[in-house]
Structure 1
Amino acid sequence: MDAKIERLKQVAQSGDIDAFYTLIREDVQLLEHIDELPFADTPLHIAAFTGQIPFAVETMGLKPSFAWKLDPNGFRRERLTSLHYVVESGEHAHLNLLDEFLLLCPDSIIDVTMRNETVLHIALKFNRLEAFKFFTGWLANNSSENAEFNKRTVLNWQDNEGNTVLHILAVRHFLSWANRFMDVNDRRKRLLDVNSKNLEDKTAWDMLQEGNREIRVMLLCAGAKPGSSLSTFNRKLTEERRNMFLVVAVLLATLTYQAILTPPGGVWQDNEMPMNKHRTNTTNHNNKQSFSQTSLNSSIIRSP
C-alpha cells in the first residue's frame, strides 16, 4: 500500500490524470484507504501545493472529503485547510480551484485557522485581492442551504485580535468592496456589523482614520460610530456568542462520537443481562458526560 500511495503522490505532483485513473483501476479502494488515515498528504494537498489545478479539481470531484483531511502537520501549519492554502498561495489560476471547492463544499467557507482567520482574512492579509473579490461575490450570490448563516458568520467573524474583515478593509481603504453587504436603507438586509469592536475597542470607523469622504459618508449612512461612543457590551456579547458556537460544536462532536460507540439496542441483543448491564453503564457514562458538558457550558458563559 505504501508503494501505491507513493506512486499516487508522484502522479499528483505531475498532474497526470490518466495515470491517476490507472492507479484507481489497479486499486478501487485507493482513495478510501487514504481517507481512512487520520493524517495524510492527499492528492488534493499535493496538487494544490504544486499548482496542478485540473488534477486538483478531478480529485475534488472524486473525494470531496479530502478538503478537510489533515496532513501530518495538522491542516498544514496553523490549521490551514486546503482551501486556506489555495488562497494563501495566490496564483491566479487557483481561482478555478476555489470555485470547485465551494461548489462541492460550500460550508468550508466558515473554516478558520489557529489565528481565527477566515478565507477573507487570509485573502486580505496576503493581498490576494482577486481571491477576496471572488469570495465576496460568491457570498453575495450563494443560495446553498446554509447561505445566510455562512454570510453573517464569515463577514463578522473576529480573528485573534478581534478584527473583522470590515476592520481590515477600513485600514486599507477598501470599504467600497463591502458596500453590497451594508444596505443603508434596510437594516434587516445589512449583513455586516459596522460597529463591531476589536480587542482595542476600535470599530471600523476608528480604523479608517483619514479615509476619503465617500467612504466616510457610506459608513455614517450605515450607522457606524467610534468605539469610544459604544459600550463594551457589544464586544462581550460577540465573545459569548463565539464561545457558545464552540460549545455547540463540542456537543455535536461528542454526541456523534457517542452514537457511534453505542448504537441503538446495544451490542448484546441476544443476551438480556449483558444488554442491561451495558445500558446501565452507558446511562451512567452519559450522566457524567452531561454533567461535565453542563459545567463546561456554564464556565464559558460566565467567562468575562
Structure 2
Amino acid sequence: MTPFHCAATMGNSNLLFHFLEACPECIEDVTVRDETALHLALKNDHIEAFNLLTGWLQSNRRRGANELEKKVINWRDDDGNTVLHIAAIKEQHQALKMLLYVGKYLDITAKNSDGLTSREIIEKVERKCLNMSDATATKIKHIKKGTHWHKRRLTMLVRARNGLSGDMINATLVVATLVITAVYQSSLSPPRGVWQGDNNMYPHHQLKYSSNLRRQLQ
C-alpha cells in the first residue's frame, strides 16, 4: 500500500486531494490485491472519500482523462470486483446511486470471479433480506401465539417455578405428593354406607342392609 492508499483507507479526503494535486498518476496505483484507492474507500465505508476520488476522475481535464476514468472506474480487484460490485456487496446505496447516475464509462455488465454482475449481487442481497424478514415474521407469529390464555398460564407457572428457592420447591413437591396420595387413597377406600356390591345381588342385599340399619337406629 502506498501513502495514497493509506489515506483512502482512513477516509482522509484532505490528504487524498493533496496527493492528487501533487501526483495525479497515483489514482492508478493498486495494492498487492489489485485494489485501487476507490476500492479501499468503499471497503472501509468512507463514502465522502470515495465521492472525492470519483469526482476528481470526472472533473479531470488532462490528456487521456476519458481513458483514465474508464480504466479506474471499471478496475477489478483480485476477486474480480469493480467498485460497483463493492458498493452492491456492502449495500452502499449512496455510492450505487452516484455511480449509476454519473458513471458515463461504467460497465454495469462486468462479472466478478463468482460470475455475478452488480445487479445480480443486489438481487441476491434483496432475497436474503426478504428471507430474513420472513424469519422475523415467523418469530413474531410465535410470540403472538404465546398470548393465548393456556400459553399465558404455562408461562406464569414457569415464572413462578423459576422464582422459587430450592427449599420452597422441595416443600411444594412434598405438599403435592401428600395431596396426590390422599386423593388416591380416598378413591380406593370410599366412605362407608356407599354400596359397592355386585349388581346382581344389589336389590336383595340392599333391602336386608336397610332393614338391619333401621332396627339398630330404633
- TM-score category of the 2 structures, normalised to the smaller one: 0.5 to 0.7
Query: Which structure would you say has the larger RCO, counting Cα contacts within 8 Å and 6 or more residues apart?
Result: 2
1:89 is matched by which residue type in structure 2?
A: M
Deviation digits for residues 266-295 of structure 1 (CA, Å, limit 9, x no counterpart): xxxxxxxxxxxxxxxxxxxxxxxxxxxxxx
Pairing of 1:179-194 with structure 2 (within 5 A): 179-182=100-103, 190-194=104-108
Deviation digits for residues 124-175 of structure 1 (CA, Å, limit 9, x no counterpart): 1111111011111111111122321221111101100000011111221421
Pairing of 1:145-160 with structure 2 (within 5 A): 145-160=63-78
For residue 107 of structure 1, report the CA deviation from its aligned partner: 1.3
Give the distance between the partners of 2:21 and 2:65, measured in 1 at CA. 12
1:204 matched to 2:118? The reply is yes
Structure 1 runs not aligned, ≥5 long: 1-79, 183-189, 213-304
1:82 is matched by which residue type in structure 2?
A: P
For residue 179 of structure 1, report the CA deviation from its aligned partner: 2.5
Give the distance between the partners of 2:92 and 2:13, measured in 1 at CA. 24
Q: Structure 1 pair 83/173, CA: closer, same or farther in 2 (3 Å)? A: closer
Which residue in the other structure is 1:131 paired with? Answer: 49
Larger radius of gyration: 2
Q: Secondary structure at the match of 1:166?
A: helix
Which residue in the other structure is 1:67 paired with? Answer: none
Deviation digits for residues 240-269 of structure 1 (CA, Å, limit 9, x no counterpart): xxxxxxxxxxxxxxxxxxxxxxxxxxxxxx
> Between Structure 1 and Structure 2, how many residues are aligned?
123
2:6 is matched by which residue type in structure 1?
A: Y
Give the distance between the partners of 2:101 and 2:20, measured in 1 at CA. 20
Structure 2 runs not aligned, ≥5 long: 127-218
Give the distance between the partners of 2:33 and 2:9, measured in 1 at CA. 14
Q: How does the TM-score come out when normalised to structure 1? A: 0.38
1:179 is matched by which residue type in structure 2?
A: L
Q: Secondary structure at the match of 1:209?
A: helix
Extract structure 1 runs of 4+ deviating beyond 6 A.
Answer: none
CA RMSD of the aligned region, Å? 1.7
Give the distance between the partners of 2:125 and 2:58, measured in 1 at CA. 25
2:122 is matched by which residue type in structure 1?
A: L
